[in-house]
Amino acid sequence: MRQIILDTETTGLEPAQGHRIIELGCVELVNRRPTGRTFQRYLNPERDIDPGAQAVHGLSGEFLSGQPRFAEVVEDFVAFIAGAELIIHNAPFDVGFIDHEFGRLPPPQRLLTDLCTVLDTLALARQLHPGQRNSLDALCKRYNVDNSNRDLHGALLDARILADVYLAMTGGQAALTLQARADDTTGRRTTQVKRREPVSIPVIRATTVELEAHERALDAVSKAAKGRCLFRSGPPVANS
């Protein structure tokens, strides 16, 4: 099973307002193990960056003006991700931006879901932890994943962190240690995810005597409630 953990950085929040991708970051997993293969590109968006977005990722227009355009890296990007399952946190955001970039290219038209299947770890986290904070930072804290180098967001750095979170959130991996560059300036980091030990849960069934006592109690409840006893859903089952 080949999976690609993917993240993007952008000039702003809405592709419909002309915002563009400025960084692509991907980490490859095969059979739930990091292979060491990554894909990372900074991109020239050919437009200004919103101040709020720049405060998040720290990438300046001056730096990005010397980087390739999306059209110049798209074939390498497609070759890296094609046929894999993409693991993305808040997938609609990144998928929307990538499809917007595809839409700016000459025909034939492509969509990301034509190339890959997509799993949204934000939707998965909301299922596993309803009513709780499920941002990437919150999940790092919940699953003891080291994100101490995340002073600024970066697509490749965030993809590496999400890989650790995803493996922990979906069952962990024995003796997982990633030694990897966080980005061009922050050096190396080590993330350790401990495998959860299996838990044996005993099932203790009621004895015949206990079931009979339970039925007598339900008879009393039913009598007091004039026959409306919600706790009586079917016949008792005793140990054989």
**Cβ contacts of residue 52 below 8 Å, gap of 6+?**
12
Share the mean pLDDT of the chain. Answer: 85
Q: What is the DSSP string of 46-101?
A: SS---HHHHHHH---HHHHTTSPPHHHHHHHHHHHHTTSEEEETTHHHHHHHHHHH
Whole-angstrom distance, CA of residue 2 vs CA of residue 167: 14
Task: Give me the pLDDT at residue 69, please.
Answer: 97
Better pLDDT: 69 or 185: 69
Q: What is the pLDDT of residues 101-150, one digit of tens each?
A: 999 999 989 999 999 999 999 999 999 999 999 999 999 999 999 988 77
Residue 5 has which token pair? 């953990």
Contacts 24+ apart (CB under 8 A), 178-186: 178/34, 182/149, 182/154, 182/157, 183/149, 183/154, 183/156, 183/157, 186/149, 186/151, 186/157
pLDDT value at 166 more than 50: yes
DSSP assigned state of 108: S
Q: What is the pLDDT of residues 14-36, one digit of tens each?
A: 999 999 999 999 999 999 999 99
Residue 181 has which token pair? 């560059």
Q: Are 164 and 191 in contact (CB under 8 A)?
A: yes
Q: Which residues are catalytic?
A: 153
CA nearest to 158, candidates 166, 148, 150? 150
Helix (H, G, I), strand (E, B) or coil at 102: helix
Q: Would the pTM of this model clear 0.75, i.e. be above it?
A: no
What single letter denotes the amino acid at residue 157? L
Task: Give me the pLDDT at residue 189, please.
Answer: 38
Task: Give me the pLDDT at residue 84, please.
Answer: 97
Q: What is the CB-side half-sphere exposure of residue 239 using CA atoms within 13 A? A: 8
CA nearest to 157, candidates 15, 35, 38? 38
Please state, for a pLDDT cut of 90, what percent of the chain lies above it.
Answer: 64
Task: Give me the pLDDT at residue 198, please.
Answer: 52
CA nearest to 42, candidates 12, 21, 15, 71? 21
Task: Give me the pLDDT at residue 43, please.
Answer: 97
Whole-angstrom distance, CA of residue 23 vs CA of residue 153: 11
Q: What is the pLDDT of residues 33-45, one digit of tens each?
A: 999 999 999 999 9
Residue 42 has which token pair? 């900074």
Q: What is the pLDDT of residues 184-238, one digit of tens each?
A: 443 333 344 444 455 556 667 888 888 888 888 888 877 877 777 666 655 555 5
Terminal CA-CA length for the chain: 45
Please state, for a pLDDT cut of 70, what percent of the chain lies above it.
Answer: 81
- Cα-to-chain-centroid distance, residue 172: 14
Q: Which domains can be identified in the chain, with CATH numbers?
A: 2-193 (3.30.420.10), 202-240 (no CATH)
